[in-house]
Chain A
């Protein structure tokens, strides 16, 4: 299994909603990432989990809350988002470090109304 699975594929939410994005990998990777990508822009790193501990938070607003329940799962909890948060949210994993190759999921296309 060489896949990173993200659900849902599409999400529309209002500014007062609470929702969660889910990511799963069964490759035994010990590092997992959340990226945000706007149209025609490169992926921007949000969070890094290494061995289930948050190791990097790229000054992301607190309305985004990551969680790593175990080594295979990564969640991103969303609350009180703004329309400018609409983007493709990508989960990725790597064996140990980001400097190795990343395996990306297909992403969740999020629209905030």
Chain B
């Protein structure tokens, strides 16, 4: 049973526009959420995170929104740049379990 779901396998966005990547989760006990970015033949790179006690965290062009009642989080990238083309993984953790659970990923294509 997938606890972290990214229902869009891929997304194409025009350069300069906003990219919105979505993630849903089923376990209301998750207390920390993270986004990772992955280029081919490289390991994932941490992008941004949010604690379950917050509803928004911003870092430069990247903003993560958390809606706990809907068990939904989203990553906004604005403006989108060519280097943002990658696979984005949503992840969630339970502090007590010391594990991170990854979603299946969304491949983002930034179009010129």
Contact = CB atoms under 8 A, between A and B. Distances in A.
Interface of A: 4, 6, 31, 40-43, 45, 48, 50, 55-56, 90, 92, 97-99, 101-107, 109
A48 B99 contact: yes
Interface of B is mostly: strand
30 contacts: A31-B98, A40-B104, A42-B104, A43-B44, A43-B89, A45-B99, A48-B98, A48-B99, A55-B98, A56-B98, A56-B99, A90-B43, A92-B43, A98-B93, A98-B99, A98-B100, A99-B32, A99-B95, A99-B98, A101-B34, A101-B49, A102-B36, A102-B44, A102-B46, A102-B100, A104-B43, A104-B45, A106-B41, A106-B42, A109-B41
Given A45-B99, A98-B99, 10 more contacts: A31-B98, A42-B105, A45-B100, A48-B99, A50-B98, A56-B98, A92-B43, A102-B36, A103-B46, A107-B41
